[in-house]
Amino acid sequence: MTRPGTPAVRIGVAAVVATVGIVAAVLVDQRVVSALIGAAAAAFALWTVGSLRPEHPTLARRGAGVVVASILLFGIPAVAVLTPSGIVGAEQESSDERIEPGDLSAALKRALDRADEVAPNGAESILQIEIDGDRETLYVLDQRTGMQVYTYRSGENGWYAPTSARTSQRTVFGRSDLARLDLNGVRDRVVSAWERVGSSDPSSPESAKAPSVKIEPRSADGRVVARFVGGGFPIESDTSGNLADTVDAASIDRFLDVASRVMTAAGLEPDAKVLYRIEFRSLDEAASRHGRFESGFELYFDGGPISSIAVDVGSFPVVRKATTTDEPDGFSLTGLTGATMASVRDDLARRRLVPAYDRDAIGAKIGVARNDDHPGRVPVTIQMVVGPSSTEVAGVYSTRGRFLRDGTD
């Protein structure tokens, strides 16, 4: 069999193949494939260099040295750069303690321990932790430099080498804040909440059984929450494991009960005439944004210490303080009921022959309609839109559920 190329070319090819093969064999996760790649690379290098012995025995010996040198000088450094940090430790740990992708509490502990490795006292200076199946992602603020340190692990591999970048974020949390957070227990209650309201992601129904979770301070108010994703809508937990009591915030017949609880928690009397407007949007993705952009509701106040309370379904309320302290002169939740809101929806759908599959696509406002906005005491009405934007129908009703006119003005 003819072997093409000069001896120097053959030695060079053997060195490259052996070096690349060793690197590839180390990086491949599957052991069988890794062994085959390593064996093939070694066999090719031996065969190529060995073929020089009959005619060039000295070059053959030198060629073997070149191959070894190439592996030592280029292969091993490449492996050190490209492999996850701590890979040997991870393999050793997996033999003693199997990593279960569904064990969120164990994953959280691994992330907290890793935080202390990537920055001094890093477990008390965390920007974000995300757990998604067998992948854990961690962002830590290095208090010495103001840099964000990023690292992650996936599957049975260890943690990858951390990288740093400048960040403007300074709100952090730590291990001490999460001491009472049992992620596995919270996960089970989140799944039960989704099942209760019949909400799951139709494209991936199994994701509601094994949700991902992200722990971080909210941008709206800096509150540290664990946000579970996998059902039809995200659900938040606080750092003590308490779920947000707002899973009914996008239900037309129950959101007013949530509104009453939210006002009470904020120090406001539901019966007090402090409301200026209420906006609502149902969970249906086709729902009109006549009410608000996100599913849930928002309360706007006429004077007093609070300007608004926004409640996304499944999330803790976001309370915005007022900049003025004018005396309120609005309406109250008294007389407004979920039964009335549901009857308005049913009447509007019946009047305009809305198909059953569109009747839960709802946007609504409660307050003074635009055409009623004139000096003096004016009526508070329910302005509702049913159906998707392409075929939506709208009507104005009294707060007792009596039809007044078409449209929303």
Name the DSSP class of 381.
E
DSSP secondary structure letters along 33-50: HHHHHHHHHHHHHHHHHH
Q: Taking all residues of the chain, what is their mean pLDDT, rounded to a whole number?
A: 84
Q: What is the pLDDT of residues 97-106, one digit of tens each?
A: 456 668 999 9
Residues 122 and 223 in one domain: no
> Is residue 125 in a domain?
yes
Q: Residue 248: inside a domain, yes or no?
A: no
Mean pLDDT across 145-168:
93
Same domain, 288 and 390: yes
Among the candidates 34, 57, 82, a domain finishes at 82
- Domain contains 296: yes
Task: Residue 248: name the closest of 193, 208, 200 by CA.
Answer: 193
Tell the burial category of 222 from Cβ atoms under 10 Å away from its Cβ (0-12, 13-18, 19+): exposed
pLDDT tens profile 10-31: 667 666 666 666 666 655 545 5
Q: Encode burial over 254-282: b for 16+ CB neighbours within 10 A, e otherwise.
A: bbbbbbbebbeeeebebebebbbbbbbbb
Q: What CA–CA distance (Å, rounded) separates 317 from 221?
A: 10
**Do 148 and 197 belong to one domain?**
no
- Residue 55 domain boundaries: 7-82
Please tell me whether residues 340 and 399 are part of one structural domain: yes
288 and 197 inside one domain: no
> Do residue 269 and residue 381 come from a single domain?
yes
- Kindly write down the DSSP assignment for every residue of 153-197, as one continuous string: EETTS-BPPPEEEE------B-GGGGTT--HHHHHHHHHHHHHHH
Among 82, 98, 129, which residue terminates a domain? Answer: 82
In a domain, 260, yes or no: yes
pLDDT confidence band for 321 (50 / 70 / 90): very high
173 and 108, same structural domain? yes
382 in any annotated domain: yes
Q: How many domains does the chain have?
A: 4
Q: Kindly state whether residues 148 and 191 are assigned to the same domain.
A: no
- Clarify whether residues 159 and 302 are in a common domain: no
Whole-prediction pTM value? Answer: 0.74
Q: Is 396 a domain residue? A: yes
- Structural domain contains residue 242: no
Any domain includes 245: no
Name the least confident of 8-17, 92-101, 299-308, 347-356: 92-101
Residue with tokens 């937990």: 237
305 and 275 share a domain? yes
Residue scoring higher pLDDT (54 or 29): 54
Question: 357 and 320 in contact (C-beta within 8 Å)?
Answer: no
| pLDDT tier for residue 391 given thresholds of 50, 70 and 90 | confident
Look at residues 59, 82, 105 and tell me which one is the last residue of a structural domain.
82
